[in-house]
């Protein structure tokens, strides 16, 4: 049976791909904002599987990061490679059918292209340029070549591995493309000399494929996107990884790509936050949540990012900016998150006012915050205690203990749950009594009993019933019985 090689009839792969590109345009790959996919990748994502061979090649190269201007040159190299494979595989196919052709193709690729296995060598252009490959890139090239040779192949994956399945001779045959002896793992393969005599054999154990699942063409190319993105994140290039996650999602449109993109958004938001770019983190999280409303984790992430932005602005003293940021997202953020963010901003302003503003301004600020309804009564009471306590201490240090006590009493009336101001007022009154007693004692000891009596009587007007002052008054009268009482 002659080897069918339909792709070589008429235009070459390079010519077909050039026509596809001319139709699609030449917009830069990954152009647009970080959440906009490449238009061409999105177009391919809407196509049914299996992809036409020129599109499969184009998508594989785009997924590998090849600039659109260089796609045709790589397609020409693949075209040339397939021509060589056709000449090499044809005798085996005539002799043993599609299974023999599949085995011969694996031999050809390992002898002509695959040079060394590298875990990170996930791109198709990387295989062609350096010969370095991993399971994804080698599977891609094997599938492309197989399709060009008329073989029926598809991708398959386990948790951490990709392979190819060849449909031949009425059965599915696994192809471990990373191994030169990986055709139909578990089967004994004999080596023969030029006379057909067996000289040895090779055996590759089959993998543990109990949890394998089929991979579409787009799904296999999606692994290139995801592997590249993961490598970029290891180097801290989160924006570039996010762009690949967006294209992966646009190409595959499945649960794996959805979850992968959500993780990329999460990682970039975390990176932006760690760099202090809370506004950028919040903006990205909000746009991602709007673009993927079905992804609940992104809505939660956007809420957290909004709270982080509000807290960051408030920590810098931009309380109005924090409130405006929350109000700007009031239509998209959850009510609970918006309330928490506003409450955090108000609380930061409350603390700053209590600890640093002049007395009158601090009181006005606390009243305004209390009127918002976004601070608890206990938190408000703590702030009132701090503001009035600080003012009472200032006045007391100037020696006006009764005025200090009056301020403390006023604060205690506003924050009845806090006992510190009542204690401050009592302490200031004690200080007044002590000062009055000391002044009395100086007059008394100098023999000025009338002056001592008058001083104590005046003090008792401000502290009526104080036992210490009444005792002093009695002592002054007793020392000079002739004094009017």
CA 351 to chain centre: 30
- The angle formed by the CA atoms of residues 365, 368 and 370, to the nearest 5 degrees, is 110
Would you say residue 198 has pLDDT above 50?
no
172 within a domain of the structure (yes/no): yes
The pair phi, psi for residue 368, each rounded to 5°, is -65, -40
Residue tagged 């982080």 (tokens):
308
Among 215, 248, 265, where does a domain finish? 215
The CATH number of residue 74's host domain is: 3.10.620
Q: Note the Cα 383 to chain centre separation in Å.
A: 35
For the cut 60, the answer to whether the pLDDT of residue 195 exceeds it is no
Can you give the pLDDT at residue 3? 23
Q: What confidence score (pLDDT) does residue 480 get?
A: 78
Q: Give the range of the structural domain holding residue 468, as residue numbers without chain letter.
A: 433-479
What is d(CA 373, CA 430) in angstroms, rounded to the nearest whole number? 38
Chain-centre distance for alpha carbon 206? 39
Residue that terminates a domain, selected from 170, 195, 215:
215
Q: d(Cα 293, Cα 291) in Å, to the nearest integer? A: 6
Q: Of the candidates 162, 193, 215, which is a domain's last residue? A: 215
Does 244 fall in a domain?
no
Residue 55 falls within a domain, yes or no?
A: yes
Q: Is pLDDT of 201 > 50?
A: no
Most distant CA pair in the chain: distance in Å?
A: 149
CB burial of residue 251 (10 Å; 0-12, 13-18, 19+): buried
Please give the pLDDT value at position 11.
Answer: 38
Beta bridge mates, 166: 153, 173
Whether residue 273 lies inside any domain: the answer is no
460 within domain boundaries? yes
Both tokens assigned to 372: 């918002």
Q: Find out whether 36 and 242 touch, Cβ atoms under 8 Å.
A: no
Distances, alpha carbon 323 to alpha carbons 206, 316, 337, 354, in Å: 61, 13, 13, 19
Residue range 15-68, pLDDT digits in tens? 433 433 333 333 332 223 468 899 999 999 999 999 999 999 999 999 999 999
Where does the pLDDT of residue 485 fall: very low under 50, low under 70, confident under 90, or very high at 90 and above? low
* pLDDT (tens digit per residue) in 234-244: 999 999 999 99
Residues 25 and 43 sit within 8 Å (Cβ to Cβ) = no
pLDDT grade for 221, boundaries at 50, 70 and 90: very high
Query: 116: number of CA atoms within 13 Å, CB side?
Result: 4
Q: Please, which pLDDT band fits residue 187 given cuts at 50, 70 and 90?
A: low
Over the chain, what is the mean pLDDT?
87
Residue 265 lies in a domain: no
The answer to whether residue 215 scores a pLDDT higher than 50 is yes
Q: What are phi and psi of 67, to 5 degrees?
A: -65, 140
Would you call 117 helix, strand, or coil by DSSP? strand
Cα angle 332, 274, 292 (rounded to 5 degrees) comes to 30
- For 346-405, the pLDDT digits (tens) are 999 999 999 999 999 999 999 999 999 999 989 999 999 999 999 999 999 999 999 999
pLDDT at site 287: 92
Q: Is the pLDDT of residue 99 over 50?
A: yes
Q: Which 3 state secondary structure label does DSSP give 195? A: coil
Spatial distance between the Cα atoms of 476 and 33, rounded to a whole number of angstroms: 89
Number of domains in the chain: 2
Question: What tokens appear for 279 in the block?
Answer: 């506004």
Within a domain: residue 411? no
Task: Write phi, then psi, for 199 (nearest 5 degrees).
Answer: -120, -5
What residues does 173 pair with on adjacent strands?
166
Q: Is residue 462 part of a domain?
A: yes
The pLDDT tens digits of the residues spanning 2-14 come to 222 223 333 343 4
- Mean pLDDT along residues 264-292: 92
Q: Over 50: is that where the pLDDT of 288 sits?
A: yes
Among 244, 240, 209, 239, which residue's Cα sits nearest to residue 224? 244
Q: Is residue 86 scored above 90 in pLDDT?
A: yes
Query: Considering the chain, what percentage of its residues have pLDDT values greater than 70?
Result: 87
pLDDT at 205 over 60: no
106-150: pLDDT as tens digits: 999 999 999 999 999 999 999 999 999 999 999 999 999 999 999
Residues 6+ apart with CB under 8 A from 164: 139, 142, 143, 146, 153, 154, 155, 156, 174, 175, 177
425, pLDDT greater than 90: yes
Question: Mean pLDDT throughout 196-211?
Answer: 50
Share of residues in the chain with pLDDT > 90 (%): 78
* Cα distance between residue 410 and residue 259, in whole Å: 58
- CA-to-CA separations, 117 to 122, 134, 355, 373, in angstroms, rounded: 10, 6, 64, 64
**Rounded mean pLDDT of 174-192?**
78
First to last CA, the chain: 139
């Amino acid at each position: 049976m002659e080897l069918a090689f339909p792709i070589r009839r008429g235009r070459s792969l390079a010519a077909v791909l050039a026509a596809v590109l001319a139709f699609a345009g030449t917009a830069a790959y990954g152009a647009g904002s970080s959440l906009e996919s490449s238009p061409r990748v999105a177009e391919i994502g809407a196509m049914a599987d299996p992809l036409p061979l020129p599109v499969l090649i184009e998508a594989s190269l785009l997924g590998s990061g090849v600039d659109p201007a260089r796609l045709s040159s790589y397609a020409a190299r693949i075209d040339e490679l397939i021509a060589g494979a056709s000449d090499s595989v044809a005798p085996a196919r005539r002799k043993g059918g599609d299974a023999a052709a599949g085995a011969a193709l694996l031999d050809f690729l390992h002898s002509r292209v695959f040079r060394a296995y590298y875990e990170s060598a996930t791109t198709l252009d990387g295989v062609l340029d350096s010969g370095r490959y991993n399971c994804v890139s080698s599977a891609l090239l094997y599938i492309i070549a197989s399709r060009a040779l008329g073989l029926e192949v598809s991708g398959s994956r386990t948790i951490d591995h990709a392979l190819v399945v060849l449909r031949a001779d009425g059965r599915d045959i696994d192809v471990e493309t990373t191994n030169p002896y990986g055709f139909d793992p578990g089967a004994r393969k004999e080596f023969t000399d030029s006379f057909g005599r067996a000289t040895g054999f090779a055996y590759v154990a089959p993998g543990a494929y109990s949890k394998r699942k089929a991979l579409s063409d787009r799904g296999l190319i999606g692994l290139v996107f995801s592997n590249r993105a993961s490598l970029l994140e290891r180097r801290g290039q989160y924006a570039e990884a996010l762009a690949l996650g967006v294209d992966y999602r646009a190409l595959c449109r499945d649960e794996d790509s959805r979850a992968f993109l959500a993780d990329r958004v999460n990682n970039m938001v975390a990176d932006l936050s760690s760099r202090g770019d809370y506004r950028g983190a919040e903006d990205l999280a909000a746009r991602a949540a709007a673009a993927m409303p079905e992804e609940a984790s992104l809505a939660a992430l956007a809420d957290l990012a909004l709270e982080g932005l509000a807290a960051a602005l408030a920590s810098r003293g931009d309380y109005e900016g924090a409130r405006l940021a929350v109000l700007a997202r009031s239509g998209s953020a959850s009510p609970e998150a918006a309330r928490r963010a506003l409450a955090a901003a108000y609380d930061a302003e409350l603390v700053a006012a209590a600890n640093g503003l002049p007395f009158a301004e601090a009181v006005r600020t606390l009243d305004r915050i209390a009127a918002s309804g976004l601070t608890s009564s206990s938190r408000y009471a703590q702030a009132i205690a701090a503001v009035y306590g600080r003012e009472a201490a200032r006045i007391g240090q100037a020696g006006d203990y009764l005025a200090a006590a009056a301020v403390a009493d006023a604060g205690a009336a506003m924050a009845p749950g806090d006992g510190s101001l009542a204690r401050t007022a009592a302490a200031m009154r004690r200080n007044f009594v002590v000062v009055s007693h000391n002044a009395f004692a100086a007059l008394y000891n100098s023999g000025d009993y009338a002056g001592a009596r008058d001083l104590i009587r005046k003090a008792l007007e401000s502290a009526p019933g104080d036992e210490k002052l009444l005792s002093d008054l009695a002592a002054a009268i007793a020392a000079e019985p002739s004094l009017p009482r």
